[in-house]
């Protein structure tokens, strides 16, 4: 009987220890969930697969810039080898702990015959997209680095053979869309002023087409700002989508500025079944 009592006491003590350890683990998990201890995780552990959309999603590409290799799933890079061209930074973020900082300078060397720092996200000629495709991203334009300029630059382009039939640009502190199905009939649409040092979210819905069934819909910070019908691509293969910075005026002396800086975050491409809500939702 004495031995049996000793055994029962030992068993009760062991259960108490396990219970305490389990409680401590739960407390640590709760603290991590509340954002109090997430910083102790290795960066590679945090969303290292951020470019891989979840199963059942209508996203065919998603980059939250939170992983260990941002934009590794993008089609290709058109980035110079110098340090400032593309950086992943923590001081200016839309969501999470990092964003992508692009910079071009007037005196930099040429990249693919232009002053650019761009990433090709998807390429239509490789079958990455279909005619019906969604695109979205968030961007910030800093006061120091995106000053007023009378010359335009491209921050998004749907590029085909030699030039983009449709492009998203800025000029004179305004957002502009240029779109048409030939170089001679492209029209410009003013989408409003650029507010500096705040994040702007844009969602684009395309029916890519050379013909009258083409469609471009654009939402800016939750408000629909454009519906354009008609041809929006050349009579060629589907375009590739590029984000970043390209400024033709940096090859001449006409620009008032000597550099351009822009931040991007939460870059997405959706298939034909995607919705505005899915493209604009916070990253998971």
pLDDT of residue 254: 84
Q: Are residues 133 and 82 part of one domain?
A: yes
Q: Are residues 50 and 31 part of one domain?
A: no
Cα 73 to the chain's mean position, in Å? 12
- Rounded distance between C-alpha atoms, residue 267 and residue 71, angstroms: 9
Q: Which residues of the chain have pLDDT under 50?
A: 1-50
Q: Are residues 102 and 199 part of one domain?
A: yes
**pLDDT tens string 21-42:** 333 333 333 333 232 222 222 2
DSSP 111: B
Total count of domains within the chain? 2
pTM equals: 0.81
φ, ψ of residue 278 to 5 degrees: the values are -70, -35
What is the extent of the structural domain holding 22? 2-38
Q: Are residues 94 and 231 part of one domain?
A: yes
Q: Are residues 55 and 34 part of one domain?
A: no
Q: What CATH number does the domain containing 270 carry? A: 2.60.120.200
Q: Which long-range contacts (CB under 8 A, 24 or more apart) does 89-95 make?
A: 89/263, 92/140, 92/142, 92/263, 93/265, 94/138, 94/140, 94/199, 94/263, 94/265, 94/266, 95/64, 95/138, 95/265, 95/266, 95/282, 95/283
Token pair 């354009």 is at which residue? 228
pLDDT of residue 54: 57
Q: Are residues 166 and 125 part of one domain?
A: yes
Q: Which two tokens stand for residue 241?
A: 């989508």
Q: Are residues 15 and 83 part of one domain?
A: no
pLDDT of residue 2: 38
Q: Are residues 93 and 10 part of one domain?
A: no
**pLDDT tens string 127-166:** 999 999 999 999 999 999 999 999 999 999 999 988 999 9
Q: Are residues 191 and 55 part of one domain?
A: yes
Q: Which two tokens stand for residue 164?
A: 């983009």
Q: Are residues 94 and 31 part of one domain?
A: no
Q: Are residues 143 and 249 part of one domain?
A: yes
Q: Under a CB-based contact definition with an 8 Å cutoff, are residues 163 and 234 in contact?
A: no
Q: Are residues 150 and 10 part of one domain?
A: no
């Amino acid at each position: 009987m004495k031995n049996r009592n000793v055994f029962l006491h030992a068993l009760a003590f062991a259960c108490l220890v396990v219970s305490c350890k389990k409680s401590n683990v739960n407390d640590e998990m709760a603290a991590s969930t509340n954002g109090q201890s997430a910083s102790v995780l290795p960066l590679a552990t945090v969303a290292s697969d951020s470019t891989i959309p979840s199963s059942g999603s209508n996203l065919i590409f998603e980059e939250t810039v939170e992983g260990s290799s941002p934009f590794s799933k993008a089609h290709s890079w058109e980035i110079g080898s110098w340090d400032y061209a593309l950086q992943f930074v923590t001081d200016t973020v839309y969501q999470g702990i990092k964003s992508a900082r692009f910079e071009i300078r007037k005196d930099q060397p040429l990249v693919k015959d232009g002053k650019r720092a761009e990433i090709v996200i998807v390429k239509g000629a490789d079958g990455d997209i279909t005619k019906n495709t969604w695109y979205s991203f968030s961007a910030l334009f800093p006061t120091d680095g995106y000053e007023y300029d009378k010359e335009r630059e491209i921050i998004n382009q749907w590029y085909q053979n030699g030039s983009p039939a449709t492009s998203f640009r800025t000029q004179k502190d305004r957002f502009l869309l240029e779109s048409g199905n030939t170089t001679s009939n492209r029209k410009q649409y003013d989408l409003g002023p650029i507010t500096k040092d705040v994040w702007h979210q844009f969602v684009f819905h395309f029916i890519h087409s050379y013909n009258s069934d083409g469609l471009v819909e654009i939402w800016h910070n939750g408000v629909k700002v454009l519906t354009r019908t008609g041809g929006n691509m050349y009579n060629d293969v589907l375009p590739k989508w590029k984000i970043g910075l390209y400024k033709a005026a940096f090859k001449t002396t006409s620009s008032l500025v000597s550099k351009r800086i822009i931040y991007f975050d939460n870059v997405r491409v959706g298939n034909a079944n995607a919705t505005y809500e899915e493209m604009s939702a916070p990253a998971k």
